Chains A and B, each alone.
Chain A
Amino acid sequence: MADKVLMKGNEAIAEAAICAGCRHYFGYPITPQTEIAAYMAKKMPKIGGCFLQAESEVAAINMVYGVAATGKRVMTSSSSPGISLKAEGLSYMAGADLPALIVNVQRGGPGLGGIQPSQSDYFQATRGGGHGDYRMLVLAPASVQEMASLTVKGFDLADKYRMTAMILADGTMGQMMEPVSLDFPEAEKVEKPWATTGTDMAREHNIVNSLFLQPDELERVNFERYERYAYIEANETMYEEYLMEDAEICVAAFGIASRVAKNAINEARKQGIKVGMIRPITLWPFPVAPFAAAADKVKSFISVELSMGQMIEDIKLATSCKKPVTLCNRAGGIIPSPEQVLEAIQKAAKNGGAE
């Protein structure tokens, strides 16, 4: 096993991206993710890569669009308000079927909001963020190790499916330090015959484009894209189940919320409460199957979120509202405490599952 190094979450993302072969980074400063840019600014010139601070998030995502069009691995990172600005580019990249990695180290919103950790961009991320019918792969790390390994995975999936992948982290994940192994599996090489790298006078010109003025043509590319999405839903969903074998109460949480929830679940187990957790690792595709299966076994669900309740809607959809789903949340940059989550679990246990 390779040695582990102690890293901040944001730095782990940057180093993992370099390991994944990313040599182009474009970004604009915004708290709490600026360490990624700083790391890239230091490293890229030394390894023949390109770090460029763009004039805006809008420009940064369009620089990403340019590199992605040439078939090279490229990324940008930002935090919530900046991601809103990148939404235009995300939609265009979806329309032009371009792969890239986007990192959102979330902070509280809406508007300028705050700079403390949040998960309130769940809707934005899992529904694509910009205009039009499209999806993004959304990966939710719950440790610094996953910040790194899901970054590599994100590049691989983006290339494989010609779409953007987003790391949906939060301020805590970005700032906290944990040991990380930077030993990653070798990715499958993906050919990109569509890339605009110059014809070399050896082929017809390639066109990277999202404009389809004929409605039947635009409908066709949308249908094709959704066939690809259906394949991804069937094959790329990732989640972790924790103590679910005999669980009567199912906690659902991702990212930092799952770390807090795990503490609360361990404490509840000591008190004899049969509680487990499903932790989605891919937020899109959402792990529908384990939630649907759990709905036939457990008495109720508790969604632990750093938002006003966003993932809870996907849980209700995945379980066809078969069992009650309650929300245990904090918002505005505050993380629920293990005690708050434990209390929610105890309440659910007392009510025979329902709150």
Chain B
Amino acid sequence: MAVVFDKPHALVDMPMHYCPGCTHGIIHRLVAEVIDELGIEGRTIGIAPVGCSVMAYDYFACDMIEAAHGRAPAVATGVKRSDPDKHIVFTYQGDGDLASIGMAETVHAAARNENITVIFVNNAIYGMTGGQMAPTSLPGQVTQTSPYGRDTKHCGFPIRVCEMLSELEGPEYLERVTVNSVANIRKAKKAIKKAFQNQIDGKGFSLVEVVSSCPTNWGMTPQAALKWIDDNMLPYYPLGVYKDRSAEEDAK
């Protein structure tokens, strides 16, 4: 019988700990499919963050490193510089990890045009610790630590990472995607593949921001959470390519 659907080789065959309806599973799969398609599993080293995806080191079949909270881009820098010709290095980070505690590491890896791939999962909340306000939580968003809704007068505004990094001279490629529909999942995979291909081609820092859901901590059904992305997240975090230096240069 012909196999029409299978687990990517770059994913280990084990149950994941993610909540029902969480989009981490989809994003893991997309990264693994890309690793398979590019034939780079044997030379890839992934860096897991602190947060919901902390145990990504168990799920990807390539070599994996668990980094301290927010430090994945610095760890990735070390791994990449250790053997730039061989190592394909990606970080997989959430919004608290990448845009709060690890913002300095993110910005400077981008500014250096460090030749790594960053998968940035933005679901506007700290999931692992039970739903606290994140650097990307929306104005008015109710979380455990913003129980009356995020008050921008008190704790400021959410950070648009792709827009902010696009002001830097350094990074090669910045794109924001989402995974709340089949069509969007296809586009997300294309972006992730480009982010890895850029690294193979030596082009430099490539970050894909994946707008994600957190049904558990948003207090919604998985379906409602996917709709919440369309209704609330995407107006604040518009999808699109924020920087593509090679394409810009080709256009000149």
The residue that A74 contacts in the complex, of B64, B65, B78, with Cβ under 8 A, is B78
- 17 CB < 8 A contacts A-B: A26-B78, A59-B108, A62-B67, A62-B75, A63-B75, A65-B75, A66-B77, A67-B81, A67-B82, A70-B45, A96-B66, A198-B45, A205-B12, A205-B62, A206-B64, A209-B64, A211-B55
Is the Cβ of B78 less than 8 Å from the Cβ of A66? yes
Stretch in contact with the other chain, from B21-29, B36-44, B129-137, B163-171: B36-44
Is the Cβ of A208 less than 8 Å from the Cβ of B105? no
Is the Cβ of B58 less than 8 Å from the Cβ of A207? yes
> Chain A interface (Cβ within 8 Å of chain B)?
24, 26, 50, 52, 54-56, 58-60, 62-70, 72, 74, 88-89, 92, 96, 196-202, 205-211
Binary interface encoding of chain B residues 34-71 relative to chain A, with 1 for a CB under 8 A from any of its CBs, else 0: 00000001111101000000110110111111111001
Assuming the contacts A55-B108, A59-B108, asked whether A66 and B79 have C-beta atoms less than 8 A apart, the reply is: yes
Q: Which residues of B contact A205 (CB under 8 A)?
A: 12, 60-64
Q: How far is the CA of A63 from the CA of B81 in the complex (A)?
A: 9
Q: Which residues of A contact B60 (CB under 8 A)?
A: 205
Q: How far is the CA of A101 from the CA of B248 in the complex (A)?
A: 43
The 8 closest A-B pairs by CB, nearest first: A66-B78, A62-B74, A196-B63, A55-B108, A62-B71, A63-B78, A209-B66, A66-B75
> Chain B interface (Cβ within 8 Å of chain A)?
12, 41-45, 47, 54-55, 57-58, 60-68, 71, 74-83, 86-88, 104-105, 107-108
Is the Cβ of B57 less than 8 Å from the Cβ of A209? yes
Q: Which residue of B lies closest to A65 (CB)?
A: B75
Q: How far is the CA of A206 from the CA of B105 in the complex (A)?
A: 25
A269 CB to nearest chain B CB (Å): 51
Known: A199-B42, A207-B57, A207-B66. 16 other contacts (CB 8 A): A26-B78, A50-B81, A62-B75, A63-B75, A63-B77, A66-B74, A66-B75, A66-B79, A68-B78, A70-B45, A196-B64, A197-B86, A201-B42, A205-B64, A207-B63, A211-B54
The residue that A59 contacts in the complex, of B83, B87, B104, with Cβ under 8 A, is B104
The residue that B67 contacts in the complex, of A52, A56, A65, with Cβ under 8 A, is A65
The residue that B71 contacts in the complex, of A58, A197, A206, A208, with Cβ under 8 A, is A58
Assuming the contacts A64-B78, A69-B75, asked whether A199 and B63 have C-beta atoms less than 8 A apart, the reply is: yes
Q: How far is the CA of A24 from the CA of B79 in the complex (A)?
A: 11
Q: Which residues of A contact B54 (CB under 8 A)?
A: 211
Q: How far is the CA of A211 from the CA of B54 in the complex (A)?
A: 9
Is the Cβ of B79 less than 8 Å from the Cβ of A70? yes
Q: How far is the CA of A60 from the CA of B75 in the complex (A)?
A: 9
Is the Cβ of B87 less than 8 Å from the Cβ of A70? yes
Is the Cβ of A24 less than 8 Å from the Cβ of B82? yes
Q: Which residues of A contact B81 (CB under 8 A)?
A: 24, 50, 52, 63, 66-67
Is the Cβ of B43 less than 8 Å from the Cβ of A198? yes
Q: Which residue of B lies closest to A89 (CB)?
A: B68
B238 CB to nearest chain A CB (Å): 29
